[in-house]
Structure 1
Amino acid sequence: MVTDNIADMLTRIRNANMVKHEIVEIPGTKMSKAIAEILKEEGFIENFETYTENSNQYLLLSLKYEGQSRERIINKIERVSKPGLRVYANSKTLPLVLNGLGIAIISTSKGVMTNRKAKSLGIGGEVLCYIW
């Protein structure tokens, strides 16, 4: 049993990305769906779909690569807030990842969103991960 579903999701994406797999399977939770939506909107993955098998829900993420040499779109993906050490930021102290080239995924009272959207709405929250 996994105690940190977000870290498990990010690790599966990181591992599949390192060996240039096309598709990665992730256990489907509300949080993983929300993160997958953001990754799709920001252009880090092609698409994702959900399916159910034996009453367990899963996400299939289609990873994205560019060019003939299949250069990785996701260069680094790292977990920030962990179960043992939660990291929070208010709207004024939201992190800027690689001077705006990357994104931070924030869990707010208005839902899961990027650092740019949270800053424009003037709300803070838990910093889940950085992606660039």
Structure 2
Amino acid sequence: MSLSDGIGDFLTRIRNAQLAMHRETRVLFSKVNSSILKILKEEGYILNYEKQESDSIPSLVVQLKYYDKSPVINDIARVSKPGCRYYSKCKDISKAYNGLGIFIISTPKGVMTDYNARRLKVGGEVLCRVF
């Protein structure tokens, strides 16, 4: 099985698991996916994640977070796609949902939120938005 968009698959697995009210889901391991999960945990969108290996295939097990029986993540979507990459300068990075959500951006200094990218004055590829 080959994936043309690993991040898109990763986000779709999280979105579908939350809609189905699963407590956890398993996603393929990559450094970018791990960095995105680290940000989601720091921002309070997920409970925890850990790396596991089954049949010598590394994966990440994500523990999803709910509040009053509804998912904490209302919307998680890919912004920059393989067919149409979206890059933004630091001064052009907007706030997601008027500051209620976050953009996750891949910069030369690593994967970070839109707030940190503006603070460090770095731009990059806007990977996804989370609300």
TM range (shorter): over 0.9
Residue 51 of structure 1 is matched in structure 2 by 52
Residue 64 (structure 1) aligned with residue 65 (structure 2): yes
The unaligned stretches of length 5 or more in structure 2 are none
User: Could you tell me how far 1:95 is from its partner in structure 2?
Assistant: 2.3
Q: Give me the TM-score of the superposition, normalised by structure 1.
A: 0.96
Q: Give me the TM-score of the superposition, normalised by structure 2.
A: 0.97
Structure 2 counterpart of 1:29, which letter? S
Q: How does 1:1-132 map to 2 (within 5 A)?
A: 1-67=2-68, 70-132=69-131
The unaligned stretches of length 5 or more in structure 1 are none
Q: Hey, what's the Cα distance between the residues in 2 that align with 1:26 and 1:14?
A: 12
User: Could you tell me how far 1:54 is from its partner in structure 2?
Assistant: 2.2
Q: Hey, what's the Cα distance between the residues in 2 that align with 1:124 and 1:95?
A: 11
Q: How many residues align?
A: 130
User: Could you tell me how far 1:55 is from its partner in structure 2?
Assistant: 2.1
Q: Hey, what's the Cα distance between the residues in 2 that align with 1:28 and 1:10?
A: 13
**Stretches (4+) displaced over 6 A:** none
Q: Hey, what's the Cα distance between the residues in 2 that align with 1:36 and 1:93?
A: 25
